[in-house]
Amino acid sequence: MDLKKILRTNIQNLVPYSSARDEFQGEASVFLDANENSFGSPLATAYNRYPDPLQLAVKKKISEIKGVPPQNIFLGNGSDEAIDILIRAFCRPGIDNIILLPPTYGMYEVSANINDVAVKKVPLTAGYQLNLEGIAEAIDENTKLIFICSPNNPTANSIYREDIETVLANFPGLVIIDEAYINYSRQKTFIRELTEYNNLVILQTLSKAWGLAGLRVGMAFASEEIIEVFNKVKPPYNINEASQQLALNALQNVDQVNEWIRETVAERDRLGTALLDLHCVREIFPSDANFLLVKTTDAKGIYQFLVERGIIVRDRSNVILCEDSLRITIGTPNENTLLLGALKSFPH
């Protein structure tokens, strides 16, 4: 893949914003270059200074955990920012298109729509795997990106590795693998494949297993060339100082996170087995994520019944290939028990 061929010309030629922090890096004692309030902030922690635009401290820690050099990492205000930047940097509005594989995460399509970029949909097979022939047929000379979510939201399964590699090896645009749920998966991350495929972008996030959805920190891993595109296009201070500091603290607690992952996976098994015994449950789809896709006898009725008992799940029954299905996040053992108790009393 030749990145220059797929990148928009205006982005190729873009002179990015140069902040005070970009122009002077080094030791100094008096900073009068960024029009900050030199006196401080009305908070116990000082936030009067602009944050590191490239978040190097956080990236170094992520680099240690993931085994990826910092220059191959982009941090976004959630994965959603990474998704938006990919579409904006590579797709010409009204001309280019992206390929999506529904049922899948909704933000890819919303982001494409916001940017006036056409979406070509190639639904997954009945077994929630890639339709490789359909994808090959959908690709045209203006197809820039293919989004593959694995483990997939809302179907919970992982996409076959060989199929993803087939797409990576044959598509001359970018293949984005969204691994938001990779920590819960039996499958391995594609991060080790970054050196093999220069058209690969991997998305991960601190919002799920890391328990930091409120901080808004998403990660993209890719070639240095692609990361440079992200850095050119992103707002200069896209990760605020509080999020950078808190993310850095949280990243010291890998053991706690791994313990929660083990508990979540154990609860996923327990909840799945127990749900199958209920008369209102038809099928539990295999899950590599922290949620279950559950085919029921009456998705809308059960959804409403649970709402009345203060339990909120996600009704996915209007989504293609998810007829009658609810998406249920794995809760704490107590929450899962409450859910099971409520569902047991759903009338025949």
Interface with ligand PLP (CB under 6 A): 78-80, 105, 149, 153, 178, 180, 205, 207-208, 213, 218
Choose among 85, 123, 342, 315: nearest CA to 203.
85
Nearer residue to ligand PLP within complex by CB, 202 or 343:
202
Q: Smallest distance, Å, CB 251 to ligand PLP?
A: 15
Nearer residue to ligand PLP within complex by CB, 51 or 218:
218
Alpha-carbon distance of 87 to 73, in angstroms, equals 18
Q: Smallest distance, Å, CB 153 to ligand PLP?
A: 4
Nearer residue to ligand PLP within complex by CB, 89 or 280:
89
User: Buried b / exposed e across 57-76, counting CB within 10 Å, b at 16+?
Assistant: ebbebbbeebebebebbbbb
Nearer residue to ligand PLP within complex by CB, 77 or 143:
77
Q: Smallest distance, Å, CB 274 to ligand PLP?
A: 24
Amino acid identity, position 333? P
Q: Smallest distance, Å, CB 103 to ligand PLP?
A: 11
Residue 118 · residue 144 · CB < 8 Å:
no
Alpha-carbon distance of 299 to 319, in angstroms, equals 12
Nearer residue to ligand PLP within complex by CB, 142 or 187:
187
- CB-closest chain residue to ligand PLP: 78
Q: Smallest distance, Å, CB 296 to ligand PLP?
A: 21
Nearer residue to ligand PLP within complex by CB, 74 or 105:
105
Q: Which helix (H) or strand (E) holds 329?
A: strand 325-329
Alpha-carbon distance of 225 to 335, in angstroms, equals 45
- Lay out the sheet containing 281-284: strands in order across: 281-284, 291-296, 325-329, 314-315
Q: Smallest distance, Å, CB 305 to ligand PLP?
A: 25
